Amino acid sequence: MFYCTTTGQYIQEGTPFEINGINNQQICLNLSTPQEKIDIGLEEVIATNSPANQQYYWVSQELNGATLTYINNPKDLDTCKTNAVSQLRTTAYTMLLPTDWMVVKSVETSTPIPTDWNTWRASIRTTCENAITAVNACADVDELAQLTVTWPNDPNYVEVQNVPN
């Protein structure tokens, strides 16, 4: 997006615009050089910061000339915690669901679950519970938004490495 210093208008790249009675077609701005843009009074709009995660913040924008500022206001902490805990439980459930058949088979046929899968399933539950404890310990939304969870890879996971050609 560009700001026209002479007219005070904002112009999206790829849209037609008019400056000082001169109609500029959309292709003109897309193909113009940085100097040509400066010559007609256009400045690229630059963001001074980044928008925060909308899961935790109400995000709005403020334009002041060629400066864009994101205003990040924290949402209610208790609501954010409730949503984060729900998401953690959903993620754990989704990860465990494809292997639930092993548990059913084990119960129905007295076939033991392979140890590596049993260990992995337990680690998913432990990771989830530890993450929920961390969520509930957060004193503010900023702290909550910074939490990251590293889920364990299942026993069949194979890391793919980039091999040069």
DSSP string, 44-55: E-EESS-PPPTT
pTM exceeds 0.85, yes or no: no
The pLDDT score that the predictor gives to residue 13 is 80
pLDDT averaged per 10 residues in sequence order, the chain, 165 residues: 88 79 66 82 93 96 95 98 98 97 95 95 98 98 97 88 66
Selection from 91, 55, 62, 61 nearest residue 76 by Cα: 55
pLDDT of residue 163: 64
The predicted structure's pLDDT at residue 28: 67
Q: What is the pLDDT of residue 19?
A: 78
Q: Residue 21 and residue 8: Cα distance in Å, rounded?
A: 14
Six-digit token string for 161? 């490495």
**Confidence at residue 165, expressed as pLDDT on a 0 to 100 scale:** 62
Q: What is the pairing mode between strands 67-74 and 22-24?
A: unpaired
Distance from C-alpha of 139 to C-alpha of 148, rounded to nearest angstrom: 16
Task: Specify the residue for token string 């709009």.
Answer: 45
Instruction: Please tell me the predicted confidence (pLDDT) of residue 94.
Output: 97
**How many beta carbons lie within 10 A of that of residue 11, not counting itself?**
21
Residues in the chain: 165
